[in-house]
Chains A and B, each alone.
Chain A
Amino acid sequence: DAGVIQSPRHEVTEMGQEVTLRCKPISGHNSLFWYRQTMMRGLELLIYFNNNVPIDDSGMPEDRFSAKMPNASFSTLKIQPSEPRDSAVYFCASSYRKGNEKLFFGSGTQLSVL
């Protein structure tokens, strides 16, 4: 298996632009997580899905952030409009069971908002 695949690896954009991050989880995994990592705040859970349904989005910082999982093999995290403080590494991870199984992370998307 190719593992969790995220795209793009790097994204540089200007403030106010829309940003879409993509994730393909490992086939057969039914839980998907979006995390954001910064030096100051560490690894923060933004939202997680189980069987394509959002279970907990309490970590989503603002209405500017939205996430979807239209099917078991694809998820997006969208920021509209983007702001400089959104600059971070965004990780997607998947697991076989809800919560009680190990996470497999993608390589992350380094987002820079200028």
Chain B
Amino acid sequence: RKEVEQDPGPFNVPEGATVAFNCTYSNSASQSFFWYRQDCRKEPKLLMSVYSSGNEDGRFTAQLNRASQYISLLIRDSKLSDSATYLCVPSGQGNLIFGKGTKLSVKP
């Protein structure tokens, strides 16, 4: 099993839609989790941190399921500007291994 697995997508959704991505991880010792957003030809930037069962920030909700070892990212009321690749990264023993990312494309 790979350390971090994500559905590569692309997810093509209309504006206003709700979309969710999952990320599974293999290191059960991971304590904290992060979602990053990467725009085309740009560096990744932190979107959300998850330290307990979940976190909510406006239209974005991240949830953690430790028993099944996955984290999810829910985006409500999608905007055109949400189009990007979303990367998840569980934090383990200091190294930070990223998933390959899920590409989201929001259409008018």
Contacts and interface: CB of A to CB of B under 8 A. Distances in A.
Contact of A108 (B43, B49, B93, B96): B43
Given A42-B100, A43-B87, A103 B94 contact: no
A34 to B, nearest CB: 11
Interface in B51-108: 87, 91-101
Of A48, A103, A106, chain B has the most CB atoms within 10 Å of the CB of: A103
B10 interface: no
Given A42-B99, A99-B94, A105 B87 contact: no
A105 B94 contact: no
Contacts, number: 53
A103 B31 contact: no
Q: Mostly helix, strand, loop or mixed at chain A's interface?
A: strand
Contact of A100 (B32, B42, B45, B98): B32
Interface in A78-114: 91, 98-100, 102-108
B52 to A, nearest CB: 14
Interface of A: 31, 33, 35, 41-43, 45, 48, 50, 55-56, 91, 98-100, 102-108
A108 B43 CA distance: 7
B9 interface: no
A98 to B, nearest CB: 5
Nearest to A33: B96
B43 A99 contact: no
A48 to B, nearest CB: 6
B51 to A, nearest CB: 9
A110 B24 CA distance: 29
Contact of A107 (B31, B43, B46, B95): B43
A91 B38 CA distance: 12
A99 B92 contact: yes
Contacts of B95: 45, 48, 55-56, 99
9 contacts: A33-B96, A42-B101, A48-B96, A56-B94, A99-B93, A102-B46, A102-B49, A103-B34, A103-B44
